[in-house]
């Protein structure tokens, strides 16, 4: 079976059947999606053989023209980025955690460029605890979003950020469940106040006090709305009010003014290998 349903992992014979399955009623084993959303999810689901091939492939530099720079600092980064990409094909290598650290440095400038075109973006903190209303009390019950951002324009908002660098995990049931939880949190929170109150309560580890201090120190208003931003290889999230899905494919030709030379290296070595266009058939 060339496809697996991203929602329930059921093997499916064709993209057409996947669309039918996604829009089918829950009673009949489907997911009751609107036709347009079912089509969108089906079109973004890669074929299994592509994913296997992708996992096995020795990562190659996306542009044969990437030369090791003569500047010693840039050369150090070239070596670092190249190793991260090369080690990605090894089991247990947490590629996403490593990319996470680097991408957060570029993220404000990325979001201030097209296609997002936001202004005044700040990474308030990494690993921000969020919790759905339906979840029980207790330290172990919250899970952390990859980062909490704040944006000034086009309208002030707090943005929960999630990063996925591998379509196989992005389309896994765990990941799809997480996406639904995040969307629910965003839809239910009338402002950041609710999320802040939750974050101020969770955790007994002394490190949570540092998190609370950082929240207390933030100059941004807690009454501002909450939005969700996913950065994924290709689209995984249906477009919804206040929910954004930027893709690594959107970034492969992007130039940045700040740290431009470092970004170009990162883009050409790392971003190009994450961007993965699904085949149309």
Select the residue interacting with Zn ion from 7, 15, 98, 150 (CB under 5 A). 7
Give least dist CB 179 to Zn ion, A: 15
Q: How far is the CB of 166 from Zn ion (least distance, A)?
A: 20
Closer to Zn ion at the Cβ: 41 or 251? 41
242: Cβ contacts below 8 Å, ≥ 6 apart: 157, 186, 187, 225, 226, 227, 228
Shortest distance, position 173 Cβ to Zn ion, whole Å? 9
Report d(CA 227, CA 157) in Å as an integer: 7
Of 10-49, which residues contact Zn ion (CB under 5 A)? 10
Cβ of residue 6: shortest distance to Zn ion, in angstroms? Answer: 8
- Of 7-15, 40-48, 72-80, 90-98: span binding Zn ion (CB under 5 A): 7-15
Residue with smaller CB distance to Zn ion, 8 or 74: 8
**Residue (10 or 97) nearer to Zn ion, CB:** 10
Q: Does 8 bind Zn ion (CB under 5 A)?
A: yes
Q: Of residues 4, 5, 103, 167, which one binds Zn ion by CB under 5 A?
A: 5
HSE at residue 1, side-chain half, CA atoms within 13 A, is 12
Piece of 3-11, 164-172, 188-196, 213-221 that binds Zn ion (CB under 5 A): 3-11
Q: How far is the CB of 25 from Zn ion (least distance, A)?
A: 12
CB of 235 to Zn ion, least distance (A): 18
Give the contacts of 115 (CB within 8 A, at least 6 positions apart).
246, 250
Nearest approach, Cβ of residue 9 and Zn ion (Å): 7
* 8/222 with CB nearer Zn ion: 8
How many positions of this chain bind Zn ion (CB under 5 A)? Answer: 4
* Cα 224–chain centre separation: 22
Of 42 and 160, nearer to Zn ion (C-beta) is: 42
Q: Which of 31, 181 has the CB closer to Zn ion?
A: 31
- Nearer CB in complex with Zn ion: 177/209: 177
Other Cβ atoms less than 10 A from the Cβ of 113: the count is 16
Segment near Zn ion (CB under 5 A), from 1-9, 105-113, 160-168, 242-250? 1-9
Binding site for Zn ion (CB under 5 A): 5, 7-8, 10
């Amino acid at each position: 079976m060339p496809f697996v349903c991203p929602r329930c992992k059921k093997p499916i014979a064709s993209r057409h059947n996947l669309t039918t399955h996604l829009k089918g009623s829950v009673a009949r084993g489907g997911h009751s999606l609107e036709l347009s959303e079912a089509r969108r999810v089906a079109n973004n689901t890669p074929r299994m053989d592509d994913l296997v091939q992708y996992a096995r492939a020795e990562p190659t530099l996306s542009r044969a023209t990437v030369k090791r720079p003569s500047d010693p600092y840039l050369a150090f980064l070239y070596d670092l980025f190249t190793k991260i990409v090369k080690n990605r094909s090894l089991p247990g290598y947490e590629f996403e955690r490593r990319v996470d650290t680097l991408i957060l440095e570029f993220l404000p400038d990325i979001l201030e460029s097209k296609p997002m075109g936001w202004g005044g973006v700040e990474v308030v903190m990494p690993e921000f605890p969020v919790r759905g209303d339906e979840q029980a009390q207790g330290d172990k019950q919250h899970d952390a979003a990859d980062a909490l951002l704040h944006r000034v324009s086009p309208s002030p908002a707090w943005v929960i950020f999630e990063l996925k660098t591998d379509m196989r995990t992005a389309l896994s049931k765990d990941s799809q469940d997480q996406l639904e939880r995040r969307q629910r949190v965003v839809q239910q929170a009338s402002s950041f106040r609710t999320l802040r109150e939750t974050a101020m309560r969770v955790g007994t580890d002394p490190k949570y006090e540092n998190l609370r201090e950082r929240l207390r120190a933030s100059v941004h208003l807690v009454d501002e709305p909450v939005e969700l931003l996913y950065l994924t290889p290709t689209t995984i999230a249906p477009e919804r009010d206040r929910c954004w899905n930027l893709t690594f494919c959107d970034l492969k030709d992007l130039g940045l003014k700040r740290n431009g030379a470092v970004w170009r290296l990162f883009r050409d070595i790392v971003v190009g290998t994450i961007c993965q266009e699904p085949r149309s058939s």
